[in-house]
Homo-oligomer: A and B are copies of this chain.
Amino acid sequence: MTNSAITDYPSPMSHLKWSPAEKAIARKAFNLALEQEFEAVIRETKKMAAKVEHPSDLWELEGYLTQSRTKIDRLYDYRYSVLPEVFGTLIRKGRLREQDLHGLRDDKLEYIRAYANF
- A41 part of interface (Cβ distance < 8 Å): yes
Quickly give the copy total for this chain.
2
A13 to B38, CA, bound (A): 50
> Which single residue of chain B is at the shortest CB-CB distance from A64?
B62
- A55 part of interface (Cβ distance < 8 Å): yes
| Interchain CB contact (< 8 A) of A49 among B50, B59, B66, B68 | B50
Interface of A is mostly: helix
Interface string of A37-51 (1 = CB under 8 A from B): 010011001101110
- A52 part of interface (Cβ distance < 8 Å): yes
Which chain A residues in 21-63 approach chain B with CB under 8 Å? 38, 41-42, 45-46, 48-50, 52-53, 55, 58-59, 61-62
- A69 part of interface (Cβ distance < 8 Å): yes
Show 13 residue pairs from A and B whose CB-CB distance is below 8 angstroms, ordered by the A residue.
A38-B55, A41-B55, A42-B52, A45-B52, A46-B49, A46-B50, A48-B49, A49-B61, A58-B65, A58-B68, A59-B65, A62-B62, A62-B66
